[in-house]
Amino acid sequence: MIKELGTNEVVTSRMSGDERRSQILQVAIRLFSQNGFNGTTTKEIARMAGVSEAMVFRHFATKSELYHAILDYKVCEGGTKNPPWENPVMKRAIEERDDYAVFYNFGVGALLHHKEDVDFMRLLFYSALDEHELSQMFFDQFVSRIYEFIGSYIRQRQAEGAMREVEPGIVVRAFLGMLIHHSLNNILWDKKRRLLDVTDEKAARSFAEILLNGIKK
């Protein structure tokens, strides 16, 4: 069992190789999200993980390898174990041409994930602002696939005469913009929800309805 980390907690418990690797990744994500990439050293990661720096390099020979491992852990093994294009609920909604269910389920899943994984969200913000390679890696491995996933559904529905002829990429960007701006407010700027205090479900429902009211025939 991998122990969750407090902000300044050093891990010292005995672990298997796989557990230790995952623990190092957890520590790296936490420190990168707090201090940025330039402000975090492998020595500090090792200290907080309760291992030697040599142990960090044994698992991740280079920093680039560490960045790739973070994406694999968060996108595949961690927070998005079932990406939208593999989610059975989404697949069923697409097969049934249930436009509302497609956008609602995608939206509520994204908002819940953002809320549950603030460290990774902060890490992505840092990487984008620093023009760090992790940002482009995440875009190529995940964001571009989201555009293709939602965009292909919109193109299909346009071909079937159910949606207006609007550039699918613009529709995707508008929908993601609502979701991401909502999460940014809750995570960074308006943590006390003074401007808007609604559940993720209500927000996703409203965003889906706003979008579909604009593109449905």
> Is 129 inside any structural domain?
yes
In a domain, residue 3? The reply is: no
Report the CATH number that the domain containing residue 29 is assigned in CATH: 1.10.10.60
Provide the whole-model pTM: 0.74
Q: Are residues 209 and 112 in the same domain?
A: yes
* Domain match, 131 and 203 both: yes
| Mean pLDDT, the chain cut into blocks of 10 residues (217 residues total) | 45 65 87 80 89 90 82 60 74 95 94 84 80 81 90 96 96 96 91 94 97 93
Asked if residue 104 is part of any domain, the answer here is yes
DSSP string over 14-63: ---HHHHHHHHHHHHHHHHHHHTTTT--HHHHHHHHTS-HHHHHHH-SSH
Report the alpha-carbon distance of residue 166 to residue 151 in Å, rounded. 11
56 and 157 in a single domain? The answer is no
Number of domains in the chain: 2
5 domain-assigned: no
Same domain, 100 and 136: yes
SS3 163: strand
Domain that holds residue 181: 81-215
Q: What does the alpha-carbon distance between residue 28 and residue 50 come to, in Å, rounded to a whole number?
A: 12
Cross-strand pairs, 163: 216
